[in-house]
Amino acid sequence: MHLTKLEIQGFKTFAKKTSLSFLPPKPDRSPITAVVGPNGSGKSNLADAIRWVLGEQSLKLLRGKQSQDVIFSGSEGKGRAGFAEVSLSLNNEDGAMPIEYSEVTITRRLFRDGSSEYLLNDSKVRLNDIQLLLAQANVGQRSYSVVGQGMIDHILVSTPEERKAFFDDATGVKPFQIKRHNAILKLKKTHQNLADVEMLLREIEPRLRSLKRQANRLEKRGAIEESLHMLEQQHYGKQWWDLVDSLEAVKKNFETADQEIAAERTTLKALEAEMEKIEKVEDEPDTGLVALQAKYREVQKKRRTLRDQQFQTEKEIELTRVRAQSNWAPLPLIRIVEVVGAIVKGIKGLKNISEAAELHAEVDAIFKQSSDLHKKLQRPNPEDIKPDPKLVARLADLKKQAEGVTKELGAVEKEIDGYVSKEKTDRTELIQTQKVLREKQRQIHLLENRRNGLKIDLARYEERQGALIREMDEFMKDRAVNVRAQRPASTPAEDVYPEIQRLRYKLELIGGIDPEIIQEYEQTRERFDFLDGQVGDLHKAIKSTEKVIEELDEQIEKQSKKVFNKINKEFEKYFKMLFGGGSCRLVKLTREDTEEESEGVTPDRAFADTGEEQREKDETIETKIKKHKDPVIGVDIQATPPGKRLKALNLLSGGERALTSIALISAIMAVNPSPFVVLDEVDAALDEANTIRFAGILSELSKNSQFVIITHNRATMEQADVLYGVTMGTEGISNLLSVHLEDVTQGGTARR
Ligand code: ATP
Ligand code: MG
């Protein structure tokens, strides 16, 4: 992977669109690009542009106070720019970046209103995507891929913890760390989701329990109802069909009686006609006998009327009895509770009544209510059902009258007989016929009595049928029709009515339940199961993420250890090369080493821009997931130039510091080369001899890395394959032009 083109527009002093092309790599090494130019012409701005497009967030490193400071702020000749845009094109033919493209262009754009965007080959992406991609290609944008002006000894002045971040970058564990960071974010989110789901579950659980109880009750109710319905079907089926049979039989008997009566009446009519004929034949009707006969008919009529009345009264008395029996049904519990409630309420209300008369009336009312309830709760004793006394008296009276009339009739009969016996001889036929007639009348009377009895039976059964229909309809509802429609195949052997009453009472105890409860129960249970499943899934997700983090931690540790040792070796080599001897060493600091110096330092500083609070949160989760224990929390540098004994870094001279830094950066590049490196005047403090040594090292390292070097040193320039000059005119805008070494003056600035 190597740089192919840099395009800058509106970024700092590069107001106009400016483009810089890089040479393609040679077989043995990457070409070195040198940027030269006078002070303040914008060379460092060029390095800043590369740093910026790679996603740098630090305002300090970008030399600004706020992010919009990178936008060209205008000059005497030219107005300020509306946005800054930098595009860096990279050749990815070697696939260093794990992405499909062979040419990748990263673009960063920032507008004056503060909005910004990152593009990857013109598609919008997140900063995180770019950072991960670059880290995977081993571009350490923070630390050593772009070494800013005056930043070369930054590594020396920084704290051991800051250096640790730098070495994490250098040892190539950054991509793992980014992945780890993302995994921790994911883990945090999963934990949050889990907490949310668990809270929902806790909320639903009590409702579900109550619904389940109700559903169980409903189920129990259903079972009881089922057996009740079966028993009711048996019971009422038997009652109904027994009644139907009885009714049928009575009807049939009644009809027979009716027919018999009709037949007898026809015979009677014939007899009467015969009588009339005989009577007509008599020359002179005997007035005495005629009068007696008339009287006889009259008394007979009277007796019939009395009998009719008597029958009517008997029927009424019978009906009151039937009605009283069939109308009684046990009161439902609900009704009882209602009435008792009303009575209690009435009694309570008594306290508020002061008027004696009113009190009296209220007490009477309550007494009536309770005695009514009492009466209704007791099954009436058939003996106790007293028909209306008036009816009874009337019946007795009628019976007495009938007796009198019967006696009267007997007397008249006797009289007629006496009369007749006198004239027996001449009126035998008539008398005979009269006798037959009377006998017939008596028979008809007996038949009518029987028929009337049947009629009473019929009325009784019909009344009972009506009551049964009402009862069945009340208890069985729609099912009643079926029972009445079809005769049951079998009838229960024993009386099931007590069991029916027991089940009804049980149902009343259970009480009514809203049938929608079942539906709600089903829905709630489904939701509960779903959430419960989610909890399981989330736990699984947490486990697997924790495993990923653990594996990453292992990789980080392994890689870091391996590379660190190599860097240490190379550091010593370059140090000796630059200093012509001496000794140096990188030392890992454990927590105990630094405890006294700096307390409360967080070991993971890979993400310096994440806020303190955020890091703390990550920490708690990290501890939760059995935190990876990286004992190394800092890196110390020990450097002793030849012939000296000092060990403290701040005792080194400026040039010595620069040489030590260059040795370290070179070591890192040798071990873990970044595809490209931008160095802004890292050689500024070197004397001529060291500049030449540095140029040698550069040439060596360019085998593995593409260098862009900003310098004023001729020796460094001489290593370059291409030279760019940055100039600035009076209008305060940087211009970029390609120059040749011959065009460069002694001070390292382009002549043109
Ligand atoms: P030296 O050789 O001294 O390091 P240089 O070529 O590296 O110089 P730079 O640091 O790149 O110089 O340029 C700095 C100049 O850029 C300063 O004059 C500064 O005012 C100017 N500058 C920085 N930001 C902006 C901006 N947003 N708009 C216009 N000019 C800016
Ligand atoms: Mg500069």
> pLDDT, tens digit, for every residue of 229-238?
999 999 999 9
| Closest residue by CA, ligand 1 atom 26 | 12
In testing the pocket of ligand 1, which one of 16, 44, 51, 710 has its CB within 8 Å of the most ligand atoms? 44
Q: How far is the CA of 446 from the centre of ligand 1 (A)?
A: 143
Q: How far is the CA of 728 from the centre of ligand 2 (A)?
A: 13
Q: Which residue has the higher pLDDT, 437 or 35?
A: 35
Q: How confident is the model at residue 328 (pLDDT cuts 50, 70, 90)?
A: low
Residue carrying structure tokens 């974010």: 185
Q: How far is the CA of 9 from the centre of ligand 1 (A)?
A: 15
pLDDT value for 379: 61
Q: What is the torsional sign of CA 689, 690, 693, 695?
A: negative
Across 167-190, average pLDDT? 85
Q: How far is the CA of 39 from the centre of ligand 2 (A)?
A: 7
Q: Which range in 74-88, 102-116, 440-454, 614-628 is most confidently predicted, on average pLDDT? A: 102-116
In testing the pocket of ligand 1, which one of 13, 71, 146, 147 has its CB within 8 Å of the most ligand atoms? 13
| Closest residue by CA, ligand 1 atom 18 | 40
Q: How far is the CA of 150 from the centre of ligand 2 (A)?
A: 9
Closest atom of ligand 1 to 681 CA is 4
Q: How confident is the model at residue 189 (pLDDT cuts 50, 70, 90)?
A: very high
Closest atom of ligand 1 to 42 CA is 11
Q: How far is the CA of 563 from the centre of ligand 1 (A)?
A: 37
CA distance readout (Å), 262 to 252, 257, 258, 450, 459: 15, 9, 6, 14, 22
Q: Which residue has the higher pLDDT, 311 or 278?
A: 311
Note whether 85 and 12 are within 8 A (CB): no
**Domains of the chain: which residue ranges?**
260-489
Q: How confident is the model at residue 385 (pLDDT cuts 50, 70, 90)?
A: low
Task: With residue 722 as reference, give the H or E element that holds it.
Answer: strand 722-728
Q: Which two tokens stand for residue 99?
A: 């992405």
| Closest residue by CA, ligand 1 atom 4 | 39
Closest atom of ligand 1 to 69 CA is 27
Q: What is the torsional sign of CA 689, 695, 697, 699?
A: negative
417 CB-near residues (< 8 Å, 6+ apart): none
Q: How far is the CA of 659 from the centre of ligand 2 (A)?
A: 19
Q: How far is the CA of 165 from the centre of ligand 2 (A)?
A: 26
What confidence tens digit (pLDDT) does each residue in 124-147 have? 999 989 988 988 888 864 567 888
> Angle at CA 719, nearest 5°, toward 657 and 641?
20
pLDDT value for 603: 39
Q: How confident is the model at residue 601 (pLDDT cuts 50, 70, 90)?
A: very low
Q: Which residue has the higher pLDDT, 169 or 702?
A: 702
Question: 556: which DSSP letter?
Answer: H
Across 529-558, average pLDDT? 92
Q: How confident is the model at residue 282 (pLDDT cuts 50, 70, 90)?
A: low
Residues with CB under 6 A from ligand 1: 12-13, 37, 39-45, 69-73, 149
Beta bridge partners of 723: 34, 739
Q: Which of 370-379, 470-479, 641-650, 697-706 has the lowest mean pLDDT?
A: 370-379
- Helix pair 516-579, 654-671: axis angle to 10 deg: 120
| Closest residue by CA, ligand 1 atom 25 | 12
The per-residue b/e assignment along 345-376, b for 16 or more CB within 10 angstroms, e otherwise, is: ebeeeeeeeeeeeeeeebeeebeeebeebeeb
- Strands (E) in 76-115, as ranges, are 83-91, 103-111
What confidence tens digit (pLDDT) does each residue in 483-539 have? 899 888 887 788 888 999 999 888 888 877 777 888 899 999 999 999 999 999 999
Q: How confident is the model at residue 610 (pLDDT cuts 50, 70, 90)?
A: very low
Q: What percent of the chain has pLDDT over 70?
A: 88
| pLDDT at 55 exceeding the cut of 50 | yes
| pLDDT at 441 exceeding the cut of 60 | yes
- Nearest to 413, CA basis, from 441, 385, 393, 394: 441
| Closest residue by CA, ligand 1 atom 2 | 39
| pLDDT at 401 exceeding the cut of 70 | yes
- State the pTM of this model: 0.55
Across 183-201, average pLDDT? 92
pLDDT value for 605: 39
| Closest residue by CA, ligand 1 atom 14 | 40
